[in-house]
Amino acid sequence: MRFEDQRKKMVETQLISRGITDELVLNSFLKVPRERFVTDEWREYSYKDHPLSIGFNQTISQPYIVALMMSLLELKPSDIVLEIGTGCGYQTALLAEIVKEVYTIERVDELLINAKKTLKKLEYTNIFYKIGDGCLGWVNAVPIINEFDKIIISAASPDTPNILLSKLKINGKLIVPQGDINCQNLMVYEKTKDGLNHQSNGNCVFVPLIGEGAWD
């Protein structure tokens, strides 16, 4: 089966059938070629319903989990988004299909270099890249930007990510897998003028977030 056909089947059987209804999210999954973001040894499994290794003890997440996180953020075309954990760049591309700009941070040099090459080949021009500790946010980087409409953290945090929450605009949302190293809750935080609201959206398992205020 052609990758394009596998992509359509994935959206129908893995996303829509599980309750993903956000048209912007669904359309982004139809557009982005997941097979371009995995290594040769895993390419035939590109559209399977599970995460895949991308090396360096990191994974490309299960498509449904990525779609769920993006849906819970309620992304808009005008949004400026901070992504913590570029990984292979697949989620970065999905975000870039929807929002105005994506600022993405990755601590593993080789992963960011490879992701940037792939994203450049796919002609994305609304993505900005940084190598460093994502837990600190978009600091000492250009272009200078201090606040974000949405923040998506693609690794498990042991505690509330207060540094990153401070980077949210009022009415902004942050999503993070939060809990212990073996199992987390998918938490959504919303910053209002009166403080923070938060909601748990079920259990999940992510690789650990490494950096200031997270895992060593």
Residue 215 lies in a domain: no
Residue 28 lies in a domain: yes
Strand-pair partners of 37: none
Residue 212 lies in a domain: no
Residue 211 lies in a domain: no
Q: Give the active site residue among 61, 71, 154, 157.
A: 61
What is the distance, to the nearest Å, from the Cα of residue 105 to the centroid of all Cα atoms in its chain?
Answer: 11
Distance CA 36, CA 46 (A): 9
pLDDT at 215: 81
pLDDT at 213: 84
pTM of the model: 0.96
Residue 102 sits in a domain whose CATH number is 3.40.50.150
Taking only the tens of pLDDT, the chain with its 216 residues reads 799 999 999 999 999 999 999 999 999 999 999 999 998 899 999 999 999 989 888 889 999 999 999 999 999 999 999 999 999 999 999 999 999 999 999 999 999 999 999 999 999 999 999 999 999 999 999 999 999 999 999 999 999 999 999 999 999 999 999 999 999 999 999 999 999 999 999 999 999 999 988 887
**Other C-beta atoms lying within 10 Å of the C-beta of residue 195:** 7
Residue 35 lies in a domain: yes
Residue 166 lies in a domain: yes
The residue segments making up the domain with residue 107 are: 3-204
Residue 149 lies in a domain: yes
Is 61 tagged catalytic?
A: yes
For the chain, how many structural domains are there in total?
A: 1
pLDDT at 158: 94
Residue 195 lies in a domain: yes
